[in-house]
Structure 1
Amino acid sequence: MSDQTLNKKRIAFLATDGFEQVELTKPWEAIQAAGAEVVLISPKDGKIQGMNHDEKADQFTVDQNVANVSAEDFDGLVLPGGVANPDTLRTCETSVSFIRDFFKQHKPVAAICHGPWTLIEADVVRGRRVTSWPSLKTDLKNAGAEWVDEECVCDEGLVTSRNPDDLPAFCDKAIEEFAEGKHAAQTV
């Protein structure tokens, strides 16, 4: 029998072409198994391209365009990595606003690997303790974050991890935060 920790919760996954496939599929499966409805959001309609490092992987069908959704409709947000995915998302103002709104509404957000790049653009890392793929360390520090090299970091509802090896801890902590809900002390 599956765990129903997230029963009646809706969790958004924001991604576009170039996401690291396992960083979407593993959290998706874990969060869905915990009872949540998971929704793939993208600034692009149709299908988006997953990657296994630098090789094309599977394509995934987008459920809703980011232009047609609101953070109010969801209980949490997952930001998979991959290099091209967050680099594209951070240039899309609609995607950046969608991310920022989760913080304004004090809702949990989980970002892995290169995913925190979008958090810099949303200006939501200042004063927060985070981790990421090592190449983002300087960007995150310059944006005011305290960067640490740890498997999984949680700061007032913001869950971050470094790479696919951290997925078990990342998924567990994301589910815990999504189950908990709002974070009154979360800053914007």
Structure 2
Amino acid sequence: MLDGKTIAFLVAPEGVEQVELTEPWKAVKQAGGTPRLVSTSPGRIQAFNHLDKADTFAVDDTVDEADPASYDGLVLPGGVANPDFLRMSPDAVRFAKSFFDAGKPVAAICHAPWTLVEADVVRGRTLTSWPSLQTDLRNAGATWVDKEVVVCTEGGNTLVTSRKPDDLKAFCQAVTDLFGDK
């Protein structure tokens, strides 16, 4: 159970894959945790169903004002545009890296590990992602594997990664297990 745990979901103002945000969000809530939407801009974010606009969601905190110490873990949803935008934001990269520096658990799906490459936190770790990221991850010092879910405990904190929306059931279970243990 995640009773009393607050989990940050870091997303860009536009481009997050909706199901990769909403399914883990529901899993955290159903396990008794409190998900919070963190973005680089206040207001609302625009989610997508692949390339088509989907729903919008209210931002709870912005990365420049959010205190990483007030969160128990971090989820990085995918979508191609979402992590590409985040990795170009020094505040977003710093926010994501702070969870690794503090030894807090992190979960990332699909293209989300791009943000972790920019934060320089994948070296020496084993993870998965959308297949097109494998060269980027290897070049950043990670071992890439093609699996539904990878739980990596190397490096001082636990990192859970998955490849794609089809992996969401396993990813959500790993996320709730991960945050429930810490």
Q: Distance in 2 between matches of 1:75 and 1:63?
A: 16
Match status 1:10 vs 2:11: no
**1:68 partner amino acid:** E
Match status 1:72 vs 2:73: no
Structure 2 counterpart of 1:120: 117
Question: Which segment drifts farther, 61-70 or 132-141?
Answer: 61-70
Using the TM superposition, give the Cα deviation of residue 177 of structure 1 relative to its aligned residue in structure 2, in angstroms.
0.9
Q: Secondary structure at the match of 1:144?
A: coil
The 5 Å alignment of 1:168-179 reads: 168-179=169-180
Using the TM superposition, give the Cα deviation of residue 44 of structure 1 relative to its aligned residue in structure 2, in angstroms.
1.1
Using the TM superposition, give the Cα deviation of residue 19 of structure 1 relative to its aligned residue in structure 2, in angstroms.
0.3
Q: Distance in 2 between matches of 1:99 and 1:70?
A: 11
The 5 Å alignment of 1:16-165 reads: 16=12, 17-156=14-153, 157-165=158-166
Residue segments in structure 2 that go unaligned for 5+ positions in a row: none
Q: Identity of paired residues, percent?
A: 58
Question: Which segment drifts farther, 62-71 or 126-135?
Answer: 62-71
Using the TM superposition, give the Cα deviation of residue 179 of structure 1 relative to its aligned residue in structure 2, in angstroms.
1.1
Structure 1 stretches of 4+ moved >4 Å: none
Residue segments in structure 1 that go unaligned for 5+ positions in a row: 182-188
Q: Distance in 2 between matches of 1:109 and 1:142?
A: 21
Q: How many residues align?
A: 177
Using the TM superposition, give the Cα deviation of residue 71 of structure 1 relative to its aligned residue in structure 2, in angstroms.
1.5
Q: Scaled by the length of structure 2, what TM-score is found?
A: 0.96
Using the TM superposition, give the Cα deviation of residue 70 of structure 1 relative to its aligned residue in structure 2, in angstroms.
1.9
Q: Distance in 2 between matches of 1:55 and 1:69?
A: 30
**1:6 partner amino acid:** L
RMSD of aligned alpha carbons: 0.5
Q: Residue deviations 1:44-86, cap 9 Å, x none?
A: 1111110000111011110111111122110000000001110
Q: Secondary structure at the match of 1:49?
A: strand
Q: Scaled by the length of structure 1, what TM-score is found?
A: 0.93
Q: Residue deviations 1:72-117, cap 9 Å, x none?
A: 1100000000011100000101110111010011100000000111
